[in-house]
A and B are shown apart, each in its own frame.
Chain A
Amino acid sequence: MDEINTNVSRRRFLQATGVTGAAATVALTIPGTNPERGSAEAQTRRQPNTVVSKNICHQCPARCGIDVYTTDGRVHAIHGNPDHPIANGKLCPKGPLGIYILYDPDRWRGPMRRTNPQKGRDVDPGFVPISWDEALDMVADRLRNLREAGESHRFAMLSGRGWGTTDIGMMGQFGALYGTPNGNIGHSSMCSDGSMKARFFTDGNDSYNAHDYRNCNYLLMFGCGFLEAFRPYNYNMQMWGYMRGKKSPKTRVTAVDVHMNTTLAASDRALLIKPGTDGALALAIAHVILTEGLWEKSFVGDFADRINRFVTGETVTEAATPGPMEDPETGEMVTPEVEGEGFVPRWTHGLVDWWNIELKDRTPEWAAGITDIPAETIRTVALEFGSTRPAMAIFERGAHAHTNGVFNAMAIHALNGLVGAVFARGGMMYQMGPSYGPLPANLADYRDDYAENGPWRQQPRIDMQGHPDGYLLARNMQQEVGPNSLRGEPYKLDTLLFYQNNSIWTAPNGQVWEEALREIFVIDTSPFPSEAGHFADLILPDHSYLERYQDCGPMPLEGFAHAHLRVPAIDPIHDTKYFGDVLIEIGKRMGGRMAEYFEALESSENVLRHMARGFEANPGDNGVDGWDAWVEKGIWYRKPYMWQLRDGTFYEWDGIDYARPMDAEEVKQRLLRTPSGKFEFRSGRLEEHAEWIAGATGRDPATVMFPIWEEPVHPGGGDLYLSTPKVALHAEGRGSNIPMVIAHLQPTVGGRGEAFVEIHPETAAARGIRDLDMVRITSDVGSIEARCRVFAGTRPDTIVLPMEYGHWASGRWSNAVPGGHSGDCTVNQSDRVTGQCMYYSTKVRVAKA
């Protein structure tokens, strides 16, 4: 097996771990890893030694099913799983490169502890190998001591890309049994919580959307990189091929961003908007939809006399809705017809107030002055979007990772309310969950008195999530963990475990984290070296994704339920352990009820087998009815999605069609989960917290509940907006060390070998910068260098540098890429309402290096 450990002689240590020679036979004995039928026969005729195992790609959250081809013990190909409803046999450019991740020569060989108490970028950690027993005992002893001292809250676990029950689910369980509010602090605030919260505040669902692209006739896209970064990317491209190639009528697309990219280029119309002003564009589109009478009346409602009174600059009134009354002749209770000229809402709440307070003056001419997009263009887009059904407005971080992001995002999602896209055919909906079986033990039965009532109960989360002095309404505030601990507010962490997480690098202004981690005992569980690993005191390396069993819960797709499984293609190459089992093994060493719980779980594979029992009573459309079939297929799924809005009525699937009408209470419980049970242009949840928001942000409590225009604020002290997008080849956590990725990262500007900063020709000329010069990018928090591509497709007031490189401890290839990390000059600034980390709000100065 020399080809697997080719660089072994150059490592300081090698723990040979029983891979040698055995891998081929092991792969063949994995139960039920038969490839799908036609392929199996074809493959076997050619290569009797080839085994195809099922797995789920790990390079973004989309959960594409993959077929992993292993011949004579070597994994040599990854193809899309043809029987998987996300992958459909296809892959994005990242998918095939997963083998590089498996055979990354820089992977950790086994557990290690730090011998050098000093920590720093240029400090050698002095790692020495230790046994798994030593490592796990060390963690358990430390955590037990912390608990005995009544300081268990000072233990935190941070997750990056989590997958399901046996990883991040296990973190939450561990935290609940141990007694810490910091059991699993997710990274969602550094991802796109602003998007989820905007939906939560308007349609009541704290989630990303699932989409019915197949039936959509108009897509309006705000800062979401549909053909680069929007998820599920592979599936998006499949839908793109259908919408733009086969579908009749061809789906029309308008895309909004701050620089020209493949998404904008492939769309019918590209709008290069001023950063942070997407909300103004959305408000003007809403204004035109209303003044032109194009809103979906069956969903939104209408004026009582059906005459449109939405006139620019003029207020309207809501009709007084009479309650049910007794018919004097028949004695039945009836709801009388509303009379007069007021507006009668149907499935929406607050449109009249929104119009009167905000929308009536938000004309295309007004928006043109803010967005840089001509009024006539805005009007055209609004007329197209408003008159084409089904139409959808989709958005992500480009639009909302700004100081006014919550309002930008709400304004965009409000467009979906106006055209009745939520839960409609060709519109958007929310993801249903799978029917897993219960775990081997019930957690509530195992919580001891300390876990129930210990002093940790008095402590806030380290990130101040859910706290009135911090981020009352946020889901997570991971970007605050490092800075808070360093300041000792609310307290200093003692022990910090990273799972699939490298926030010392990915958080904005990560320099602060470097200070913070010097005084914390850090445990990293990544299979790979990273900046977090460089500051770690203990390395407990995970298997790579091609070496482990792991469940992956659903990410939004088309709404129907699905559940995925990773099946190892080969035995682990190195002395690694699946993270879920690391937690279980630490738990078993904790003693008391906690240990009993984890003894009952036994192992992550045992947990997975119990979960799969849920499929027995509820088999998938692909026949998956338990563990063996789940291993064989890699996915359980059940179609259809259960609900649909049609002509103003919500229907539930009755087994044949969307035919059973739902009443208002059912809609409120299942679909429009807002306080009013309606789509809220006036957000009940924000209104409930209006005083807190006003106090925390200085905003007017009378208007914080509406999608309003708020001028964005740009810290950093510079004169150019810094946009740091995710590109197509950004393979989460590991793309930076894949040579094939480095060779192809940024094709639109001819980028090969590094990440280039795109600068408009005039902007470059004014600073004496020529194409391919190294430039210095500086903000108040830091300064980096990057190589310039002079590019006429980027706005003159904006520079674009993909967030990808500038690593200093992540492996030989990533460390060698020239140029700095955008995060080093990104100001750490969070939205007090959504918790969203505002990655795109910083302004920088640029000069020739």
Chain B
Amino acid sequence: MPNWGMVIDLETCTGCQACTTACAMENSRLPGENWQDVLFYSEGEYPNLNISWLPRPCMQCENPSCVSVCPTRATYVDEGTGVVLVDWNKCIGCKYCMVACPYGVRFYMDEAPVVEPDVREAFPARGRRTWNPPFRMPDEYEDPSKGIGIQPSGVVSKCTFCHHKISQAPEGVADLDEDNPETREYTPACVRVCAPKARFFGDLDNPESKVNELIAEKGGVRLREETGNKPKVYYLSGGGSPVVPGSRSRRG
């Protein structure tokens, strides 16, 4: 059983937001519902100022605080993939998980839309779905019990590591690499699109996976280790401009 994890190399990440848009189209997300967001920071004064950025998917914690606070057990760790999912049949939209999550990667979209006019009005709801764009994912991929597809109203949504893709991957592969034709279709959308190849996805339990190689060779770090959440997303910052804000703020 794979233990999927992600490595994001901040040395080569260009802050282009393709991960954000690819995720949104793959998973039929609303504008601003950025399961895979990129956060931007600026420090300093003209003429010596820098911008840095941090791509932020769900960390898919081994020890997720969102799961422990959920009163209906709607949020859970999927056994087959190790991914944290939301069962929309059980979620009551109480948002406890959004408060508990140290990384801010959960979304509740039943409030004012980020972009007016509301895109949901242009593609009006049908059945359970809160909107119904023609470009939504194929019906067979949707699974409300895993929080995949277009959500009903009143629930929380989050990154699934593209569960509908990775869960179909051939057994025993160490990495889901978009450059390998055998694994391309099972690679999460944010990894597959990434032009500078700043993202890697693989089995953290397989010592020979590329993700483990990178974590070891380039000193992969996890965000907010002090929470004990044990994220499965690792960041590399090999001296390039973008750095992990956590380590930088400790220094300053």
A239-283 residues with Cβ-Cβ distance < 8 A to B are 240-242, 244-245, 260-262, 264-267, 270, 272
A237 touches B50 (CB 8 A): no
A123 interface residue per 8 A CB criterion: no
Report B219-252 CB contacts with A as 1/0, cut-off 8 Å: 0000000000000000000101110000000000
A743 interface residue per 8 A CB criterion: yes
The interface residues of chain A lying within 8 Å CB-to-CB of B212 are: none
The interface residues of chain B lying within 8 Å CB-to-CB of A237 are: 14, 16, 195-196
B46 touches A3 (CB 8 A): no
B133 touches A103 (CB 8 A): yes
Question: How distant is the Cα of A39 from the Cα of B179 in the complex, in angstroms?
Answer: 11
A82: which of B16, B126, B184 is its contact (CB, 8 Å)? B184
B124 touches A262 (CB 8 A): no
A96 touches B15 (CB 8 A): no
- The smallest C-beta distance from B39 to any residue of chain A, in angstroms, reads 9
A6 touches B51 (CB 8 A): no
Question: How distant is the Cα of A796 from the Cα of B47 in the complex, in angstroms?
Answer: 10
The interface residues of chain B lying within 8 Å CB-to-CB of A743 are: 31-32, 114-115
Interface of B is mostly: loop
Report B164-192 CB contacts with A as 1/0, cut-off 8 Å: 00001000000000111110111001001
Report A61-104 CB contacts with B as 1/0, cut-off 8 Å: 00000000001101111111010000001111111110110110
The interface residues of chain A lying within 8 Å CB-to-CB of B42 are: 260, 748, 791-793
Given contacts A96-B18, A103-B135, A237-B16, contact A245 B11 (CB under 8 A): yes
- The smallest C-beta distance from A757 to any residue of chain B, in angstroms, reads 16
B49 interface residue per 8 A CB criterion: yes
A43 interface residue per 8 A CB criterion: yes
- The smallest C-beta distance from A330 to any residue of chain B, in angstroms, reads 60
B134 touches A739 (CB 8 A): no
The interface residues of chain A lying within 8 Å CB-to-CB of B240 are: 244, 266
B83 interface residue per 8 A CB criterion: no
A227 touches B21 (CB 8 A): no
- The smallest C-beta distance from B157 to any residue of chain A, in angstroms, reads 16
The interface residues of chain B lying within 8 Å CB-to-CB of A752 are: 32, 114
A262 touches B123 (CB 8 A): no
A740 touches B181 (CB 8 A): no
The interface residues of chain A lying within 8 Å CB-to-CB of B49 are: 260, 792-793
Report B21-54 CB contacts with A as 1/0, cut-off 8 Å: 1101110000110000010101011110111110
Given contacts A96-B22, A105-B122, A266-B240, contact A728 B16 (CB under 8 A): yes
A813 interface residue per 8 A CB criterion: yes
A90: which of B17, B51, B132, B195 is its contact (CB, 8 Å)? B195
B90 interface residue per 8 A CB criterion: no
A266 touches B181 (CB 8 A): no
The interface residues of chain B lying within 8 Å CB-to-CB of A95 are: 18, 21-22, 193
B31 touches A227 (CB 8 A): no
A116 interface residue per 8 A CB criterion: no
B193 touches A260 (CB 8 A): no
B209 interface residue per 8 A CB criterion: no
The interface residues of chain B lying within 8 Å CB-to-CB of A447 are: none
A36 interface residue per 8 A CB criterion: yes
Given contacts A43-B185, A91-B18, A95-B193, contact A103 B134 (CB under 8 A): yes
B14 touches A227 (CB 8 A): yes
The interface residues of chain A lying within 8 Å CB-to-CB of B100 are: none
Report B75-97 CB contacts with A as 1/0, cut-off 8 Å: 00000000000000000000000
B115 touches A753 (CB 8 A): yes
Question: How distant is the Cα of A74 from the Cα of B142 in the complex, in angstroms?
Answer: 15
B207 interface residue per 8 A CB criterion: no
- The smallest C-beta distance from A301 to any residue of chain B, in angstroms, reads 38
A74 touches B47 (CB 8 A): no
- The smallest C-beta distance from B28 to any residue of chain A, in angstroms, reads 8
Report B48-77 CB contacts with A as 1/0, cut-off 8 Å: 011111000000000000000000000000
Question: How distant is the Cα of A267 from the Cα of B52 in the complex, in angstroms?
Answer: 11
The interface residues of chain A lying within 8 Å CB-to-CB of B52 are: 265
A728 touches B17 (CB 8 A): yes
- For A2, A93, A99, which residue has the most chain B Cβ atoms within 10 angstroms? A93
Interface of A is mostly: mixed
B101 interface residue per 8 A CB criterion: no
The interface residues of chain A lying within 8 Å CB-to-CB of B193 are: 79-80, 90-91, 95-96
The interface residues of chain B lying within 8 Å CB-to-CB of A161 are: none
- The smallest C-beta distance from A161 to any residue of chain B, in angstroms, reads 20
A748 touches B25 (CB 8 A): no
A240 touches B40 (CB 8 A): no
A38 interface residue per 8 A CB criterion: yes
The interface residues of chain B lying within 8 Å CB-to-CB of A238 are: 195-197
- The smallest C-beta distance from B81 to any residue of chain A, in angstroms, reads 16
Q: Which residue of B lies closest to A99 (CB)?
A: B135
B186 touches A42 (CB 8 A): yes
B135 touches A74 (CB 8 A): yes
Question: How distant is the Cα of A289 from the Cα of B32 in the complex, in angstroms?
Answer: 49
Report A712-750 CB contacts with B as 1/0, cut-off 8 Å: 000000000000000011000000000110111001111
Q: Which residue of B lies closest to A3 (CB)?
A: B134
Report A334-372 CB contacts with B as 1/0, cut-off 8 Å: 000000000000000000000000000000000000001
B111 interface residue per 8 A CB criterion: no
A841 interface residue per 8 A CB criterion: no
B16 touches A42 (CB 8 A): no
A93 touches B119 (CB 8 A): no
- For A74, A234, A245, A753, which residue has the most chain B Cβ atoms within 10 angstroms? A245
A4 interface residue per 8 A CB criterion: yes
A589 interface residue per 8 A CB criterion: no
A7 touches B122 (CB 8 A): yes
Question: How distant is the Cα of A813 from the Cα of B122 in the complex, in angstroms?
Answer: 10
B140 interface residue per 8 A CB criterion: yes
A96 touches B16 (CB 8 A): no
Given contacts A6-B123, A46-B185, contact A742 B53 (CB under 8 A): no
- The smallest C-beta distance from B115 to any residue of chain A, in angstroms, reads 4
B18 touches A739 (CB 8 A): no
- For A6, A7, A796, which residue has the most chain B Cβ atoms within 10 angstroms? A6
B9 interface residue per 8 A CB criterion: yes
Q: Which residue of A lies closest to B121 (CB)?
A: A7
Cβ-closest 6 pairs across A and B: A38-B181, A241-B196, A237-B195, A743-B31, A265-B51, A42-B185
In the complex, given contacts A50-B138, A245-B9, what are 20 additional A-B residue pairs having Cβ atoms less than 8 angstroms apart?
Answer: A2-B126, A6-B123, A6-B132, A38-B182, A43-B185, A71-B138, A75-B135, A95-B21, A96-B21, A103-B133, A241-B12, A245-B197, A260-B51, A262-B53, A272-B47, A739-B31, A740-B25, A743-B31, A748-B15, A791-B42
27 A-B pairs (CB sep. < 8 Å)? A43-B185, A47-B138, A49-B138, A76-B25, A82-B178, A89-B178, A95-B22, A102-B135, A105-B122, A238-B196, A241-B196, A244-B12, A244-B196, A245-B11, A245-B196, A260-B51, A265-B15, A265-B51, A265-B241, A272-B47, A740-B24, A744-B21, A747-B15, A747-B38, A748-B15, A748-B42, A795-B46
